[in-house]
Structure 1
Amino acid sequence: MNKFTLTLFLFLIGSIAPTIAQQQVELTLLGALEYALENNPEAKNARLELMVSEATQKEYTAPGLPQVTGSYNLDYNPKIPVVFLPNQPPFGDPNNPSDVIPARFGVSYSSGLGVNLSQMIFDGSFFVGLRAAKTLMELTNYDLNKAENDVVESVKKAYFGVLVNQERIRLAESNLSRIDTLLKETQALNDAGFAERIEVSRIQVQRNNTYTQYQRSRTAFEISKELLKLQMGMPLEYDIVIYETLAELNPREELLSLLSQEGMERVELNQINTQIELTTLDLKNNTVQYMPSIDFNANYRRSGAGQEINTLFNSSNWFSSSLLGVSMQIPIFDGFSKSARIQRNRVEIVQLENQRNFLTQSFKNEIFTAKANLQNDLNILQVQQENLKLAQEVFDIATIKYKEGVGSNLEVVDADAALIEAEINYLGALYDGLVSKVNLEKALGLLKADLNN
């Protein structure tokens, strides 16, 4: 990937022009896949999710480490609170008619500076949380693998779509050239009185149909390139150029060997197994919450006071205090909330196990279907190759007969139409075979095998 990205960067930097134009980038299938795995938004978000999981793992670890906080306060009492005392002997005031005596206890200014330390000694949820954070990281890695598989699948199919439309353009141009030659020759025969006007018109109609097909192929080609760039995460301002052909990417030996493979474990199964493990850990976490939690606490504080702000910070007015202790929280009754969560976890585990069993069976069916489709496409491809060869022979013979005056113009037009149809069917069979190959690679869990080799 680095080599491809560097090549692309140097190409873009070196292409400085006074006018704005599309930058051309030459692509291969491998290069397109490597670029997409780096730049496709889904793949990039999946990698970012790994960073989120790493931060979550640190977050779960933090409660097990010492928690230290500092505090400082500076208070001023404009009106010191009043405390009422009974107006009774021996401290009463006989001159005060009230039965209570107001007294002010406190000073105008006070301040304090302290530090608090707490350390968890035992909490069952903490240790379960550590395991859950590690399992969550594993699930995120599987999610990344799944996202990359999806990117590879979509890019391969989009790449093949570009190739088949590119090949259709090439064939349409060849067909136009062939028909133009035939039209020119027939027009000359008509001018010389050796061919009827209807023969020229018949070929002109065929030429118009072929040109329409050519225009459609060009439009489809441009659309398929835009789709490929979108799947790759490449800016749409760039223009891609591909020199590979469908035949090069469709070796029959490789396809036949793929039919004999049993495949690997699918990442979707790893995902659901990890989800089962996470739900089991959640069940364990809800269970251990019935156990008490124990914490160690320590505190040290310096406090001072004064009637005036300038006396507040005299060292003689400041005093120290400290505290050491152990606290225990014992759950007694929570309204059956933990019991309800435990029951929910057990049901969720059963649901996930049912889903896993269904996935296992569906993957087997997917492999069977993909192999059957690929084998069928290979048979169709062989038939279309034979049809294309026969259609070419029929056209050549019809053309020779027409030029020698022993064949009709209608035979040539019909043979040309049959040849064009055979070419389209052959390209369709090639494309279907490649798509079936991708589907089988996905079913076997081998989508990224070429990239890893």
Structure 2
Amino acid sequence: MKKNMKAGWLLVGWLLGVSLHSQTVQAQQAQALSLEQAIQYALENQAAVQNAKIDVESAKARVGEVRSIGLPQVNAAVDYSNNLAIQRVFLPAVFIGDQTPGAVIAAPFGTKHTNTLSLTGSQLLFDGSYLLGLKAAQVYTQLSEKSLKQTKVQVADAVTRAYYTILITDARAALVDQNLVRLDSMLRETRIMNENGFVEKIDVDRLVVTRNNLQSERDKLKSLQELGYNLLKFQMGMPQAQPLVLTSTIQEAIIATEDELEEMNYANRVEYSILQTNKELATLDLRNKRAGYLPRLVLTGRYGGNTASNEFGDLFKGSDYYQFASFGLGLQIPVFDGLAKKYQIQQSKLALQKVDIGFKELEQAIDLQVAQAVTNLKNARIQLDAQQRNRALALEVLRVAKIKYREGVGSSIEVLNAETALKEAETNYSNALYDLIISQVDLRLAKGTLVTQ
């Protein structure tokens, strides 16, 4: 019996040790990230960014493919033929000594087996479209790189908003916790006063109802916190099981930035840069259509040997291969294509005009976005200052109401009304704080300074 108990205690101790070790490992694995680190993590691990990086590598491979067109093209070939029914040629019978007038013979023309070994090559000497196509492929690579940056901006924006949402939720939860502590203290005092006959039971009940509502709100915030972390991990490309700790603070987020004072530069917006690349591609397309009127010159060459035999085995018994060689120049000159290129050039010119119109439209849209972001940021700062004052006043009203209630010159309803007013002021303060932070993000996004790498 004692041995069994000893073994049982050993097992319990081992299990506790495993549990503590597991908790320690999990705590060590918790990743602490600032906002900048979270963004950097997302730029390295988010699926959309990884796919955009693959697109860049694919575009670079496309450049190599286009470049290969201008390099020598060499092919080796082995052509074997088995002439199952040898074609015959008709000859006058006189060739075999037959003097019959008009007589002919059907002589076999060829052998049963033939084999040819050859090496062919070609080199593009001039093609106006080739050089433009190579340039267009390189510009396309630039476009894919700018698309990668656009994806990074979108990912950074999503991570920033998710990160700040957690900070705001944490701040709201902290305020609710403070209210719970304050309300619990008041509830204890009221119960003591009720037991001593100084207040009625209904005053205690009112406080209990208020505390239950406050606790319910705290439970909701806890769920929102968990959801916020899950969303942030998703935006970062981080496994949901990975513990995460945020190290940035609200105070860092609400520091006044100088973004609204900086002069606007359209080139900072990745959309503007992409449009510039599209214009370059449209220009190259127009030049390519015009290059279609130029001739195309190609150098070709061929070298090899062939042999023939009526027996298949004789092809590989030292049969003589008779060499052949040739080279030539191929010149293709476009003469008339039914005016197809003329209308292609016309379409390219119209496409280029649309790109120019797109620049004006985008500049107007960016100006509007920046103006709206600056206005929203100024309003958010005004609103935050007002809500800070309201919260301070609500705290003072609650403090005075509690003093009056303890001294018997105030009612519990007055205290509960003050608690409700404080809760509303704190909610408004949290919302104003979130609006300010998001307005700062919107301004950096509008000016193209959210992501600089």
TM-score by length of 1: 0.89
Is 1:156 paired with 2:166?
no
Give the drift of 1:334. 3.3
Q: Alignment partner for residue 377 of structure 2, among 374, 379, 399? A: 374
Equivalent pair of 1:26/1:242 in contact (CA under 8 Å): yes
Q: Deviations over 1:337-373 (max 9, x none)?
A: 3333222212211111111110011111111110000
Aligned equivalents of 1:147, 1:18: Cα separation in 2: 37
Q: Deviations over 1:60-102 (max 9, x none)?
A: 111111111111123222332x2342667677967899x8643
Give the drift of 1:198. 1.9
Alignment match, 2:145: 141
Alignment match, 2:39: 33
Q: CA separation of 1:373/1:19 partners in 2, compared to 1, >3 Å: closer, same or farther?
A: closer
SS for the counterpart of 2:315 is coil
Aligned equivalents of 1:316, 1:207: Cα separation in 2: 106
Q: CA separation of 1:304/1:87 partners in 2, compared to 1, >3 Å: closer, same or farther?
A: closer
Q: Deviations over 1:260-312 (max 9, x none)?
A: 11233222111101101101111111211122101000110111111222322
Question: Where does 1:60-79 land on structure 2 (aligned, <5 Å)?
Answer: 60-79=66-85
Q: CA separation of 1:417/1:100 partners in 2, compared to 1, >3 Å: closer, same or farther?
A: farther
Q: Alignment partner for residue 17 of structure 1, among 16, 22, 33? A: 22
Q: Alignment partner for residue 122 of structure 2, among 96, 107, 118? A: 118
Equivalent pair of 1:263/1:446 in contact (CA under 8 Å): no
Q: CA separation of 1:178/1:340 partners in 2, compared to 1, >3 Å: closer, same or farther?
A: same
Aligned equivalents of 2:31, 2:368: Cα separation in 1: 40
Quick one: which amino acid aligns to residue 259 of structure 1? E
Aligned equivalents of 1:310, 1:169: Cα separation in 2: 92
SS for the counterpart of 2:239 is coil
Equivalent pair of 1:151/1:231 in contact (CA under 8 Å): yes
Alignment match, 1:83: 88
RMSD of the alignment, in Å?
A: 2.4
Question: Where does 1:411-430 land on structure 2 (aligned, <5 Å)?
Answer: 411-430=414-433
Equivalent pair of 1:263/1:445 in contact (CA under 8 Å): no
Equivalent pair of 2:93/2:100 in contact (CA under 8 Å): no
Is 1:46 paired with 2:52?
yes
Alignment match, 2:329: 326
Alignment match, 1:447: 450
Is 1:361 paired with 2:367?
no
Equivalent pair of 1:169/1:217 in contact (CA under 8 Å): yes
Quick one: which amino acid aligns to residue 246 of structure 1? I
Aligned equivalents of 1:77, 1:262: Cα separation in 2: 82
Q: Deviations over 1:94-138 (max 9, x none)?
A: 7899x8643321112211111111001110010101211121122
Alignment match, 2:14: none
SS for the counterpart of 1:317 is coil
Aligned equivalents of 1:18, 1:411: Cα separation in 2: 47
Q: Structure 1 residues 100-109 or 220-229, which shifts more?
A: 100-109
Equivalent pair of 2:89/2:109 in contact (CA under 8 Å): no
Question: Where does 1:231-270 land on structure 2 (aligned, <5 Å)?
Answer: 231-252=235-256, 254=257, 257-264=258-265, 265=267, 266-270=269-273
Alignment match, 2:180: 176
Q: Structure 1 residues 297-306 or 308-317, which shifts more?
A: 308-317
Aligned equivalents of 1:26, 1:225: Cα separation in 2: 13
Equivalent pair of 1:84/1:100 in contact (CA under 8 Å): no
Aligned equivalents of 2:341, 2:205: Cα separation in 1: 86
Q: Percent identity over the alignment?
A: 35
Aligned equivalents of 2:230, 2:337: Cα separation in 1: 59
Give the drift of 1:434. 0.8
Unaligned 5+ residue runs, structure 2? 1-19
Quick one: which amino acid aligns to residue 83 of structure 1? R
Give the drift of 1:241. 1.5
Give the drift of 1:325. 0.5
Equivalent pair of 1:262/1:444 in contact (CA under 8 Å): no
Alignment match, 1:394: 397
Aligned equivalents of 1:304, 1:69: Cα separation in 2: 20
Aligned equivalents of 1:414, 1:18: Cα separation in 2: 44
SS for the counterpart of 2:328 is strand
Aligned equivalents of 2:104, 2:403: Cα separation in 1: 132
Quick one: which amino acid aligns to residue 194 of structure 1? F
Equivalent pair of 1:367/1:444 in contact (CA under 8 Å): yes
Aligned equivalents of 1:182, 1:92: Cα separation in 2: 138
Alignment match, 2:9: none
Quick one: which amino acid aligns to residue 269 of structure 1? Y
Equivalent pair of 1:75/1:109 in contact (CA under 8 Å): yes
Q: Deviations over 1:213-232 (max 9, x none)?
A: 11211111111111111111
Give the drift of 1:155. 0.8
Quick one: which amino acid aligns to residue 124 of structure 1? G
**Alignment size in residue pairs:** 431
TM-score by length of 2: 0.89
Q: CA separation of 1:125/1:250 partners in 2, compared to 1, >3 Å: closer, same or farther?
A: same
Aligned equivalents of 1:95, 1:399: Cα separation in 2: 143
Aligned equivalents of 2:98, 2:282: Cα separation in 1: 72
SS for the counterpart of 1:312 is helix
Alignment match, 1:406: 409
Equivalent pair of 2:156/2:450 in contact (CA under 8 Å): yes
Question: Where does 1:308-323 land on structure 2 (aligned, <5 Å)?
Answer: 308-315=311-318, 317-323=320-326
Equivalent pair of 1:67/1:117 in contact (CA under 8 Å): yes
Aligned equivalents of 1:354, 1:304: Cα separation in 2: 67
Alignment match, 1:167: 171
